[in-house]
């Protein structure tokens, strides 16, 4: 082998080694640049469907975004819409659209209604190409999510009372975690938060909420195991009023084994929370996006039992069922107000229809 060949071999070997090492170096640099918060146990990976009695672990994560949370829904949707862009709209186009919407769990009724609106719009405007149709779909989606969805810091009819935000929903959907995230957000904004451990049914629920309360410097009011949840909420409201706190975030139980009892209990909690000196400003129904249409029918029971003012859609990260938002708004008639995009304290965003639709359709 001549000197030139030897040199070439050396260069190739060095380049190969460097290239193979790049991803590792990249990951290592990323890890260094994002140190975990002190005293924060790091969970190995998010476990979306878990509903255990384990005390909470709060993973340190960078804040999630709509686009990252909806990536998997977007992939599902785009795969099914890919064929549309290559043709003039015809019968198969409508079939592909239907499949695409059903594929991200928009649900049968809402998919049909959406396509009906799109059809009449296409006819009215004489839309004859795929681009025009996709643009019209975006508009139809925007119109479907045009409702009011702001969160109320105080009860609208009694603005001087201590505002209470109640969180209701089935076990494991993410109520306690969401309260932790909301508490973290409000505390960061300089508001003083009292948390009420209204899930007195599960012993570990109070410990889990305590972890979150400690994290954001909120005060936790709890009762003994099996205590009447409405008395815990009552105590929390009194304590908050006495201290002049800005808001009470009240956790509740979500066992569905005895639906009638649970619904009666929630109605009572709501009545008590709404009594002087407190006033319910928000009753937020928490829905797990990974359960799709199933979650929707469970949610219906809650919506019928309590005066729900909005929905928190959790676990949108890693769910390919992001289209559920349309079904929730159309079929439950409730605005989605907040979205959970992970297990960390920053993984909660306000629901913004424009960013959501952009992320879902991929811009
Ligand atoms: N990936 C992901 N996990 C979540 C989210 N919200 C909650 N969780 C997880 O879901 C599980 C159940 O949450 P928890 O708050 O205990 O539910 P609860 O029974 O309704 O109070 C926990 O492991 C949470 O960390 C979310 O937005 N994304
Ligand atoms: Mg809980």
User: 275 vs 12, which has greater pLDDT?
Assistant: 275
Relative to the alpha carbon of 45, which ligand is closest? 1
What CATH code would you report for 162-308?
3.40.50.300
Please give the number of the atom of ligand 1 that sits closest to the Cα of 251: 21
At residue 10, the pLDDT reads 65
> Which residue's CA lies nearest to atom 23 of ligand 1?
50
The ligand 1 atom nearest the CA atom of 202: 19
- Mean of the per-residue pLDDT values of the chain: 84
CATH number of 66-144: 1.20.120.140
Ligand 1 test: best mutation among 40, 48, 210, 346, most atoms within 8 Å of CB?
48
Residue 269: is its pLDDT beyond 70?
A: yes
Residue 161 to residue 246: CA distance in whole angstroms:
10
Q: Which residues line ligand 1 (CB under 6 A)?
A: 46-48, 50-51, 169, 171-177, 254, 286, 314-315, 317, 340-343, 347
Q: Does the pLDDT value for residue 20 go beyond 70?
A: no
Residue 6 has pLDDT above 50, yes or no: yes
Mean pLDDT of 301-308: 89
* pLDDT at residue 80 is higher than 90: no
| Domain extents in the chain | 66-144, 162-308
Distance 204 CA to ligand 2 centre (A): 9
What's the CA-to-centroid distance between 252 and ligand 2, angstroms?
Answer: 7
Residue 294 reports pLDDT greater than 90: no
Could you tell me which of 347, 319, 359 has the C-alpha nearest to residue 66? 359
Measure 107 CA to ligand 2 centroid, in angstroms.
Answer: 27
pLDDT for the residue 293: 87
pLDDT of residue 9: 65
**Nearest atom within ligand 1 for CA of residue 170:** 20
The answer to whether residue 12 scores a pLDDT higher than 90 is no
Please report which confidence band the pLDDT of residue 30 belongs to, taking 50, 70 and 90 as the band edges: very low
Strands of the chain (E only): list them.
162-168, 193-196, 219-221, 247-250, 278-288, 310-314, 336-340, 348-350
Contacts of 353-358 with CB under 8 Å at 24 or more apart are: 353/141, 353/142, 353/145, 353/146, 354/142, 355/66, 355/67, 356/66, 356/70, 356/145, 356/322, 356/325, 357/138, 357/141, 357/142, 357/145, 358/66, 358/67
pLDDT value at residue 320: 87
pLDDT of residue 166: 98
- Our mutation pick for probing the ligand 1 site, out of 45, 174, 179, 299, counting the most ligand atoms within 8 A of Cβ, is 174
Question: Which of 52-56, 209-213, 294-298, 317-321 is predicted with the least confidence, judged by mean pLDDT?
Answer: 52-56
The answer, yes or no, to whether residue 46 has pLDDT greater than 60, is no
pLDDT surpasses 50 at 245: yes
In this structure, the dihedral spanned by the alpha carbons of residues 226, 229, 231 and 233, taken in order and rounded to 10 degrees, is: 140
Cβ burial of 218 (10 Å; 0-12, 13-18, 19+) is buried
Ligand 1 atom closest to Cα of residue 173: 20
3-state secondary structure of 147: coil
pLDDT at residue 261 tops 80:
yes
Of ligand 1's listed atoms, the one at least distance from the Cα of 348 is 27
pLDDT value at residue 36: 34
Average pLDDT in the 34-57 region? 35
Question: Of 42, 169, 177, 287, which is best to mutate to test ligand 1, by the most ligand atoms within 8 angstroms of its C-beta?
Answer: 177
Per-residue tokens: 42: 């790091």
What pLDDT is stored for residue 90 in this prediction?
85
Among 103-107, 220-224, 233-237, 302-306, the range scoring the smallest mean pLDDT is 302-306
pLDDT digits (tens, 9 = 90+) for 179-225: 999 999 999 999 999 999 999 988 799 999 999 999 999 999 999 88
30 alpha carbon, distance to own chain's centre: 26
Q: Residue 250 has what pLDDT?
A: 98
- The model's pLDDT over 84-138, given as tens digits with 9 standing for 90+, comes to 776 678 888 999 999 999 999 999 999 999 999 999 999 999 998 888 999 999 9
Give the pLDDT score at 16: 54
> What percentage of the chain has pLDDT greater than the value 70?
82
């Amino acid at each position: 082998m001549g000197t030139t060949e030897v040199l070439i071999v050396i260069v190739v070997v060095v380049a190969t080694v460097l290239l193979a090492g790049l991803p590792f170096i990249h990951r290592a640099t990323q890890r260094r640049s994002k140190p975990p918060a002190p005293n924060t146990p790091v969970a190995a990976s998010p476990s979306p469907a878990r509903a255990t009695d384990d005390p909470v672990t709060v993973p340190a994560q960078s804040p999630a975004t709509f686009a990252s949370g909806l990536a998997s829904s977007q992939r599902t949707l785009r795969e099914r819409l890919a064929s549309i862009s290559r043709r003039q709209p015809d019968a198969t186009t409508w079939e592909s659209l239907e499949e695409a919407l059903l594929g991200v769990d928009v649900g049968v009724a809402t998919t049909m209604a959406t396509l009906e609106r799109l059809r009449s719009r296409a006819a009215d405007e004489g839309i004859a190409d795929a681009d025009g149709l996709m643009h019209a779909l975006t508009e139809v989606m925007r119109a479907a999510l045009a409702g009011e969805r702001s969160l109320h810091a105080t009860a609208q009819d009694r603005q001087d009372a201590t505002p209470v935000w109640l969180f209701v929903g089935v076990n494991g959907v993410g109520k306690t975690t969401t309260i932790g995230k909301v508490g973290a957000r409000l505390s960061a904004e300089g508001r003083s938060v009292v948390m009420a451990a209204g899930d007195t049914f599960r012993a570990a629920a109070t410990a889990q909420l305590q972890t979150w309360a400690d994290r954001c410097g909120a005060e936790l009011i709890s009762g003994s195991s099996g205590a009447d949840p409405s008395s815990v909420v009552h105590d929390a409201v009194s304590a908050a009023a006495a201290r002049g706190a800005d808001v009470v975030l009240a956790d509740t139980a979500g066992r569905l084994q005895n639906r009638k009892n649970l619904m009666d209990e929630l109605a009572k909690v709501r009545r008590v929370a709404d009594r002087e000196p407190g006033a319910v400003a928000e009753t937020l129904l928490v829905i797990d996006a990974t359960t799709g249409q199933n979650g929707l029918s469970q949610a219906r029971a809650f919506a019928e039992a309590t005066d729900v003012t909005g929905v928190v859609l959790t676990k949108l990260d890693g769910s390919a069922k992001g289209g559920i938002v349309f079904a929730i708004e159309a079929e439950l008639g409730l605005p989605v107000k907040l979205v959970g995009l992970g297990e960390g304290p920053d993984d909660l965003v306000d629901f913004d229809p424009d960013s959501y639709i952009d992320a879902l359709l991929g811009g």
